[in-house]
Amino acid sequence: MTAASSDNSHDALADETIRECLALDSPKSFFLYAGAGSGKTRSLVTAIRDLLEKQGRQLVLTGRKVAIITYTNAACDEIKQRLEFDPRIDVSTIHSFAWSLIRGYDDDIRRWIDARLLEDIAELEEKQKKGRAGKATIERAQSIESKTRRRAMLGDIQRFIYSPTSDNRTRDALNHAEVIAMTADFLSQKPGLRRQLVTRYPVLLIDESQDTTKRLMDAFLLVQEAFAEQFCLGLLGDTMQRIYADGKVGLAEAIPSTWAFPRKVMNHRCPKRVVTLINKIRADDDAQEQKARSDASEGFVRLFLISEGVADKNVIEAKAAAQMAQLTGDQAWAGEHADVKTLALEHMMSARRFGFERFFEPLYGYEPIRTGLLDGSGRGIGFFTRELLPLAHALMSKDHFGVASATRRSSPLLDRSFLAEAGKDQKEALKAAKLACDGLYELLVDETPPTLRTILRHVAQTKLFEIPDVLKPFVPENDEVIEEGEDDAKSELGAWRMALDAPFQEIQKYDRYVRGVSQFDTHQGVKGLEFPRVMVIISDAEARGFLFSYGKLMGTKEKSKADLDNEVAGKDTSIDRTRRLFYVTCSRAEESLAVVYYSDDPTAARAAILEQGWFGEQEIEIMTA
């Protein structure tokens, strides 16, 4: 057996354990530890193929299926293709799967929404009593009115609807957060629904389980506990790669000892030097170690220390890339045909470099909506990215077919029922749509770039698209300027108010960023992906927050009292969060990795980092402009 084939079979025991757990007559739940580049998806697909070959007929005869929950739509498509679209396997995202469980429970959904709206209204009214007059007061009043109106219309809704890929803006539609929250509540409170889940799916496999919303993960664990002899809950993932703040902290510790715990220790992606680095990164956390392939290249790792006060960071980062080209002999690091994936450990750093800071910063600063902002699913986001952007692109390129397609797809002015009701006045309705599009074009080509608020108000006035509830407070009938309240950054309304001051062009850059089609990328977007050349950029000053601290992680700063208190309480610390993001970004590199670290004292940082032992003396360079 060659060394390479030995590498391929090194994790055979883990794969065999998974196959044994999927026995329908005696299922056993499991948590598969699978670090970066370990071939987790291949193991999942192989195990399912084995199940279908040996037990597929049993599934058909009993009318049951195997459910797989994956991280993204792209991951769903990949697994479906690998399994040749076998009808005995249901592959879906978490939102689609959740909706499949609660769809049709309309009376229960109505009661749940009514209770949630009452809570929201009471909270807003309490803030109204304490707040002073200003825009915030008006916006809260409009929000109260909107929620009250929704409550009043609940009784008229016969059947609720939901789409995992749209903004769900009709009055009978549920939003993404509601579907996840009520599914968790229903599974926890309704034994019948838990029994229905197990009867329909004797096996439920959850990929990237560390990022599954805590409430929903707790509900799945409750189902497993109640039906341990009949139900296999398979969790696949790596707690070091938890990205979302609403994922379950301490997932591994919450799993019963009766489960199986297979481990995959090979890293088939990274060169040997990068594997050594990421093993050291997680050594102080869970001490899990991976093994590099015997046929992997040695690879290159360099740490560039740069003064935080450098004037032009884009220039110095280009200089670091040029240095990497020289060190590695790989000219794709720099020049006209450079192909480098740049990852910042904090999204605001990418927002500044890529040019969507004014839109992104206020929304990112309000934690409850952060997850939706980072994956592009947040309330109000799709109005700009999925409706306005396609129309704007078509208008600017004078693509008449594209304009017609974008408006016909979601404009109420071209809705079939609206046109049918218009009867002989259909020409006037079509004319109104054209005038609305023409007006939007004039705003887009104006010498002064329009703000998102300007675009929003034009759409509202012309009824070009339906305005989401979260944005309705910003399209009042008059434009009276009132002194802003003090709680701008402390509420969703306040965050949106500031974000809408951004120029419209920032939406295009934000959209490219969250879709992962820019030079810069999100941690969510690159998880599971790999790139030959990776540049990781870190800076405490740019992060400007308490969520992350690269200085503490690198050993150049002391732990804070909050960190020490959180450690004692078993809670996430800024060091934990930073370590995870650093691990995810560094582990994307297939060939070479550059880390650009902005420090207020590069010389002192070099000494501290050398003592830490992550990088060798020859791998650290203090770079000046």
Nearest to 245 by CA among 95, 370, 93: 370
Nearest to 340 by CA among 53, 593, 62, 11: 593
Separation between Cα atoms, residue 520 and residue 513, nearest integer Å: 7
Would you say 204 and 237 are in contact if contact means Cβ atoms under 8 Å apart?
Answer: no
36 has binding-site annotation: yes
- Residue linked to tokens 């769809």: 103
Rounded to the nearest 5 degrees, what angle is found at the Cα of 54, between the Cα atoms of 206 and 25?
Answer: 70
Would you say 371 and 244 are in contact if contact means Cβ atoms under 8 Å apart?
Answer: yes
39 has binding-site annotation: yes
63 has binding-site annotation: no
Q: State the burial class of residue 203 (Cβ atoms within 10 Å of its Cβ: 0-12, 13-18, 19+).
A: buried
Q: Report in angstroms the alpha-carbon separations of 502 from 378, 447, 455, 492.
A: 17, 16, 11, 16
Rounded to the nearest 5 degrees, what angle is found at the Cα of 50, between the Cα atoms of 49 and 51?
Answer: 90
355 has binding-site annotation: no
Phi, psi for 304 (deg, rounded to 5): -105, 120
Separation between Cα atoms, residue 338 and residue 448, nearest integer Å: 33
Paired tokens of 606: 């070099």
Residue 355 falls in which region: left (phi positive, over 0), alpha (psi -120 to 50) or beta: left
| 8-state DSSP, 330 | -
192 has binding-site annotation: no
40 has binding-site annotation: yes
516 has binding-site annotation: no
Paired tokens of 473: 């407070």
34 has binding-site annotation: yes
Instruction: Give SS3 for 133.
Output: coil
Task: Detail the residues annotated as belonging to a binding site.
Answer: 34-41
Task: Detail the residues annotated as belonging to a binding site for ATP.
Answer: 34-41
